[in-house]
Amino acid sequence: MNSRASSLASPAARASTGPESWLGDFVMLAAIWGSSFLFMRMATVEFGPLPTAAVRVAIAALFLLPIVWLRGLLPVLGKNWKRIFFIGLLNSGIPFACFSFALLSITTGLSAILNATVPMFGALIAWFWLKDRPTPSRMLGLLIGFAGVALLAWDKASFKPDASGVAPAWAVLACLLACICYGISASYTKRYLSGLPPLVTAAGSQIGATLGLALPALWLWPARMPGISAWLALLAVGVVCTGIAYILFFRLIENAGPPRALAVTFVVPVFAVLYGALFLGESVTPWMLACAAVIVCGTALSTGLLKLGRGRAPAA
């Protein structure tokens, strides 16, 4: 196939190509998103959850919009702005606010482990919405994954506020709400935004999230100006962990398909736990690791990346 024919290939055809076409994006995205929990934790203690999320998406939008303009893609954004702005609120605005809130009470490692349930919720939502009925092994994976979440959440089931003023149970529920939003947005993107340039979807989604969070963030803006370290953390999470990362993410959806794109959350906790231990001195308990193993196994089964029996192994 020549280069022109390759560029015109359908997303499904591109998703069936070998891992060499998307594996680099996959690993890079996992490393970048793993650091986002560290930067959000550093920012949210001074900014608060909603301002942290709002400044993060605003920085990402300011970073991405000039690139869209320079590449002549503004007409594409203008033609599809309603759906792209909506996906921004669902895929960035609400989840970022939820994780910022959660990180006031729980560790970056625990929040990243909960984030690993995204593919599981994505598979469940695709089943009901896109009629992508799971096989028996995928249904078993859903049950195993939810059991892992229940075990992990049970360990943090207290609704009594801790030193941060936030109860750990509410923090866990906020993370799970964010994961549900991610799962919905993946099916929405596949159904309504497939074929759009990843740069357009990434930039437009951050603009939509900024517009959705602007007023609540201004209302809850901290009375005392945050320090330089908090601003630098937001700059890093806005440009690298959001602007660049979402280009990689939407490109993964196009080149590898939604299940593989969402499966990046399997690897994110590895980097998040490593960063948290190195830079924040966070500890990782055996219970967290055991529950993480259950969640990852269940999620791998529920997305079809791991299959039971002697059937053909899924394409890498």
> In terms of pLDDT, which residue wins out, 129 or 263?
129
At 156, is the pLDDT very low, low, confident or very high (cuts 50, 70, 90)?
A: low
Name the pTM for this structure.
Answer: 0.80
Which residue range(s) make up the domain with 263?
A: 18-133+169-282
pLDDT at 20 over 60: no
Percent of the chain topping pLDDT 90: 41
Q: Is residue 244 part of a domain?
A: yes
Q: Is residue 200 part of a domain?
A: yes
Rg (CA), the chain: 19
Instruction: Say which amino acid occupies 105.
Output: S
* pLDDT of amino acid 259: 67
pLDDT tens track for 191-225:
888 888 888 998 999 999 999 999 999 999 999 99
Q: Is residue 4 part of a domain?
A: no
Q: Is residue 262 part of a domain?
A: yes
Q: Is residue 303 part of a domain?
A: no
* pLDDT of amino acid 87: 94
Q: Which of these, 58, 133, 53, 32, lies nearest to 95 by C-alpha position?
A: 53
The total of structural domains in the chain comes to 1
Q: Is residue 162 part of a domain?
A: no
Q: Is residue 275 part of a domain?
A: yes
Q: Is residue 187 part of a domain?
A: yes
Task: Decide if 83 contacts 24 (C-beta within 8 A).
Answer: no
pLDDT at 176 over 90: yes
Any idea which of 2-6, 218-222, 233-237 has the lowest mean pLDDT?
2-6
Any idea which of 76-90, 137-151, 302-316 has the lowest mean pLDDT?
302-316
Task: Decide if 307 contacts 147 (C-beta within 8 A).
Answer: no
Q: Cα–chain-centroid distance for residue 306?
A: 21
Q: Which of these, 74, 86, 19, 58, lies nearest to 197 by C-alpha position?
A: 74
